[in-house]
Amino acid sequence: MITLTIAEIAQAVSGRFDPAGSPATESDVVSGYVETDSREIVDGGIFVAKPGEATDGHRFVSAAVDRGAALAIVEHTVDTVVPQIIVDDAVTALGALAGEVIRRVKASGDLTVIGITGSNGKTTTKNLLNAILAPDAETVAPKNSFNNTVGAPTTMLRVTPSTRYLISELGASGIGHIARLAALATPDIAIELKVGMAHAGGFGGIEATARAKTELVESLSEDGIAILNRDDHRVAAMASATSARVVWFGEHADADVRASDIAVSARGTTFTVLLADGQSATVNFRVLGEHHVMNALAAIAAATELGVPLDTAVARIESVTRAERWRMEVMGGRDGITIINDAYNASPDSMAAALKTLALITEPEQRTVAVLGAMSELGEYAGDEHDRIGLMAVRLGISQLVVVGPEARRLHISAINEGSWAGESIYFETADEAYDYLHANLRSGDTVLVKSSNSVGLRFLGDRLGELFS
């Protein structure tokens, strides 16, 4: 974080300073990283004691101090010798501090903020854009999928006076969430990837999801750039909601950054990228899955708008070997058994894309095995969407469907009703039962996809299988 006095921090978060038995004064300066997890605190850091669903951050102020915290932002004074700023709401204070830091750095430096949103692909696009930009200039990007009211501000607070690019993932589970995050970061460039069924239960449907995602482009000034997916009609409609200049990406003939000649294999995806000015390049993209081509196009579009030469952007994208931990992560290899661990998250769109990839990359003589768990946060749409995935697995000719967990059982029933019988679809209550079955029944040459929402935990099953066949 930039260097601020305790007084400046207190003013930014509308808080009250309490030395709490320490010799600190309001004129003391703090510049360490800001964390809400006491285990992540390093010497000189700021600990924000955030109340949580399972526990209360105020219980861990002492632990944060032991790890070197120089300041705590709290909702009530804690009996620990560390200077404290008392606020009404710790999460609100975290956001306010992030907004103040971004404002100051933008005013005095050369910071460009790139905001990324979409129902799928945010983390992959963030990683690809970071891979392109970071070799040339100081770039701050989220760890993992830090994109909510806590994670996004925590990332913003990592900027320094010399930061050139801030890549901010902006997630939401309701109307107004992205608008609030965008107000903190004031993006210069907005990337809109896709409007899909992810979190549709919380939003109240896909049209409400589209409305929420539109908030990012609405936050742009007329000097900004909106990078929009031309292939998604809901994203394309966002062009009318912004005064910023629009840059299109996709396979559509009107796209400014366009992909053609897409070829998918077990080694990745090859495609040609074409720019509106006539430049083109062949991309040997090692991240598995045709659906990640759109994420690559979005990253290339942003990078070229920022002045990165096309050949440089392509070379740096080609150096990326996986989207992220637990995202189409290729594991295994022993006895020709490949494990694709894609169980960090799941929505109907990403589930369908992963299944299509499994079918595309497998040779006719090889078996395809899909180990699937529930897709969460779909609300009233959950039943129909699990039905659709069960039907798709059968129609794609997946050799073996392994369904795990009660919330996904309808997927198994739908597959059976569609014509998957005699053990082609099998159901287990737990991941341990599924592991035992797969351990005993996988055979040489099998390609196995493990896919579920994060809350289901099948990513750990994927890890176990990857280790087993490594």
> What residues does each domain of the chain span?
4-89, 109-318, 329-468
pLDDT of residue 187: 97
Tell me the average confidence (pLDDT) per consecutive run of 10 residues in the chain, 470 residues long.
96 98 96 94 96 88 97 97 97 97 94 95 94 97 83 95 96 87 96 81 78 96 98 97 98 97 90 97 92 96 98 96 80 92 90 94 92 91 94 94 96 88 88 97 96 92 94
pLDDT of residue 443: 94
Q: Class assignment of domain 109-318?
A: alpha beta
Is 209 annotated as a binding-site member?
Answer: no
Is 62 annotated as a binding-site member?
Answer: no
CA distance 305 to 295: 16
109-318 shares its CATH topology with 329-468: no
Is 120 annotated as a binding-site member?
Answer: yes
CA distance 248 to 225: 10
Is 171 annotated as a binding-site member?
Answer: no
Is 155 annotated as a binding-site member?
Answer: no
Indicate the residue type of 361. I
The residues facing 35 across adjacent strands are 47
Q: pTM of the full predicted structure? A: 0.88
329-468: CATH, from 3.90.190.20, 2.30.30.100, 3.30.9.10, 3.40.50.620: 3.90.190.20
pLDDT of residue 421: 62
Is 414 annotated as a binding-site member?
Answer: no
Is 143 annotated as a binding-site member?
Answer: no
Residue 140: φ, ψ to 5°:
-110, 130
Q: Which CATH architecture has domain 4-89?
A: 3-Layer(aba) Sandwich (3.40)
**418, containing H or E segment:** helix 409-418
CA distance 65 to 61: 6
The residues facing 74 across adjacent strands are 86
Q: What is the tally of helices (H) and strands (E) in the chain?
A: 16, 22
